[in-house]
Amino acid sequence: MLILGLADNHDAGAALVQDGRLVAACGQERVDRVKNSGAFPWGAIDAVLDQVGARYRDVDRVVFGTAFTPSWLLRRFPDLHHRRKAEGGQFDPLLNLYVAYQVGLRRTGLYQLEVTANQRLLAARMLERGFTSANVELMDHHEAHAHAAYRSQPHPTCLVLTVDAMGDGLSCTASVGTVGQLNREWAQSGFAAVNTYYSRVTEVLGFKPNRHEGKITGLAAYAPAPPELVEHFGRQLRFVGPGFNRENYLQRQAPDDNFYGRLKDFSREQVAAALQVNLERAVTALVRYWVDRTGVRDVAVCGGVFANVKLNQRIAQMEEVDSLWVFPNMGDGGLAMGAAMGAAGLPPHALEGMTLGPAYTRTQISRELHIAKLPAARPSDLADRVAALLADGKVVARFDGAMEFGPRALGNRTVLVSPTDPSVNDWLNQRLQRSEFMPFAPVVLAEDAPRLFKGVEKAAQSARFMTVCFDCTDAMKRLAPGCVHVDGTARPQIVHPGENPGYAAILRAFRDRTGVPALINTSFNMHEEPIVCSPYDAIRAWKQAKLDALVVGEFLVEREEAR
């Protein structure tokens, strides 16, 4: 049985379950090289099917992780929609009309008519392409998010919360998973969208909404939150059990009203700090309410708001929470995986990893190195040679094994550098042509994590995928200042025994050589580009960034000046 899950939205992708096992997943952006690509995911479909040697006609079920987004209406006006969004940004009235349209479908009972229209449209499209044996199905947006969270963690009984900008007319849901069954307890309309509120302020501060919210999170650590500004934000978004307030939705969207006008009286750091404080208050109150109401203390979350790693830290620190699982591809890019796992009814289990994308053979890698005219060595001890370069202050890009699925590089499409230089954020971002306020993230072995970070236990599984911040110990601050934020936190990737042996070997070799039990791990890509996918992508990005060395599979390329 082959079940193909698809996300056909602003971050399209595909995932594949074969005979009850998740075997592949790929974002469309990695294939067409357009950041957060919203193209129909034909490239991602081909990528996941190629991994198992399957063809279109072999697929039994195609499940879209959304019921009517993009809607039947907007499919007929795509050029207008994208042009208005580009010109008017998040404040464009057309986007508010879209929210009202989706919420209205829910409230008027016309939801199923839209689902049926979309299903017929998509079924015809898939059949025309060659999916002759597949049944085409649509899954509710937040249901796909919830399946992704529940079925990728180990607890049979789990509280599952989804909080998103909006999908299928909803912005937030609470469900309880019990012995493989997921039961929705409550849902809230798109008029209470938390992400939208955060994105509006992101745009007011001069950043790209739906792209640069992480920069706002980083900025928040640079100033205390003015109490009056926290109170001001609280009037716009707050928890009002069982969910969030829906008042003044349209006022939130207007860029020049009194709400946004007041922000001009504060620095952008103060605005970011107040925004973060208010977000944490509202969402932790939501978590507390549903833990108390259900009595379930193991919490799994999904949806774009949980890309906020500082928020996730606050949730993990709550006394009411025994464990926190953040699905690694928490935004809409993860809908494909949630749809596939939910449709297959996979039992809840700890996610083995996110290296679910394309992998390349030694022959393919050798050919690209030859075309690029790059002299490559094959060191007898690759990990030790890489560790020596890193200890000498060199920057090493690593391309190896299958590509990661999701927004985080987890070792296979990664740039590594020593964390001992506090100024690394400035000079490395310059080389990668990035402008960031969050520090680079550290990667550490599980055996070293307890002496480097506080309170890891409750979010240990999430920490494998860099989705939660932790307070750093004095040892971490002393040994690896280059990846500790100004507030004393870091967002680590914790590598457990048996995971990615080649990656772990570099960490051990660097620790043995320097005494430093961490490395900086940042994604292997240039600014505003997707993470590299193929050997060609890796070589091009490495050359453009002028990094010192490149690991491609078992090969090592060093610049002359790096030797």
Residues 501 and 411 in one domain: yes
Domain count for the chain? 3
Tell me what the mean pLDDT of segment 192-214 comes to: 83
Residues 433 and 513 in one domain: yes
Whether 186 is in a domain gets the answer: yes
**Checking DSSP bridges between strand 61-64 and strand 135-138, what pairing results, if any?**
parallel
Reported as a single tens digit per residue, the pLDDT across 358-376 is: 999 999 999 999 999 999 9
Q: Report the alpha-carbon distance of residue 74 to residue 409 in Å, rounded.
A: 33
Range of the domain at 94: 2-145
Residues 159 and 140 in one domain: no
Q: What is the CATH number of the domain that holds 495?
A: 3.90.870.20
Q: Report the alpha-carbon distance of residue 265 to residue 553 in Å, rounded.
A: 53
Across the chain, mean pLDDT equals 92
Say which range, 186-190, 241-245, 259-263, 308-312, has the weakest mean pLDDT.
Answer: 259-263
Strand intervals (E) in 168-306: 170-178, 181-189, 239-240, 243-244, 298-302
Whether 177 is in a domain gets the answer: yes
403: its two tokens: 């590509």
Name the band, by pLDDT with cuts 50, 70 and 90, for residue 86: low
- How many CB atoms are closer than 10 A to CB 42? 14
Reported as a single tens digit per residue, the pLDDT across 317-326 is: 999 999 999 9
Residues 424 and 299 in one domain: no
Residues 489 and 404 in one domain: yes
Q: What is the pLDDT of residue 10?
A: 85
Whether 335 is in a domain gets the answer: no
Q: Report the alpha-carbon distance of residue 237 to residue 201 in Å, rounded.
A: 12
State the pTM of this model: 0.95
Residues 441 and 532 in one domain: yes
**Checking DSSP bridges between strand 470-471 and strand 493-495, what pairing results, if any?**
unpaired
Residues 469 and 410 in one domain: yes
Name the band, by pLDDT with cuts 50, 70 and 90, for residue 534: very high
Name the band, by pLDDT with cuts 50, 70 and 90, for residue 90: low
Residues 389 and 518 in one domain: yes
Which residues partner with 13 through β-bridges?
A: 7, 27
Tell me what the mean pLDDT of segment 485-509 comes to: 96
Strand intervals (E) in 198-269: 239-240, 243-244
Q: What is the pLDDT of residue 249?
A: 55
Q: Report the alpha-carbon distance of residue 258 to residue 265 in Å, rounded.
A: 12
Residues 120 and 193 in one domain: no
Q: What is the CATH number of the domain that holds 74?
A: 3.30.420
Reported as a single tens digit per residue, the pLDDT across 45-85 is: 999 999 999 999 999 999 999 987 665 555 555 455 555 55
492: its two tokens: 């680590």
Q: What is the CATH number of the domain that holds 249?
A: 3.30.420.40
User: Is the pLDDT confidence value at 434 over 80?
Assistant: no
Cβ proximity of 483 and 440 under 8 Å:
yes
CB proximity list for 21: less than 8 A, separation 6 or greater: none
Q: Report the alpha-carbon distance of residue 203 to residue 283 in Å, rounded.
A: 21
Name the band, by pLDDT with cuts 50, 70 and 90, for residue 560: confident
Residues 321 and 368 in one domain: no
Residue ending a domain, among 328, 353, 375, is: 328
Residue ending a domain, among 145, 168, 190, is: 145
Q: Report the alpha-carbon distance of residue 225 to residue 507 in Å, rounded.
A: 38
Whether 85 is in a domain gets the answer: yes
Whether 49 is in a domain gets the answer: yes
Tell me what the mean pLDDT of segment 203-230 comes to: 90
Whether 342 is in a domain gets the answer: no
Residues 127 and 77 in one domain: yes
Residues 404 and 307 in one domain: no
Whether 340 is in a domain gets the answer: no
Residue ending a domain, among 88, 122, 145, is: 145
Whether 399 is in a domain gets the answer: yes
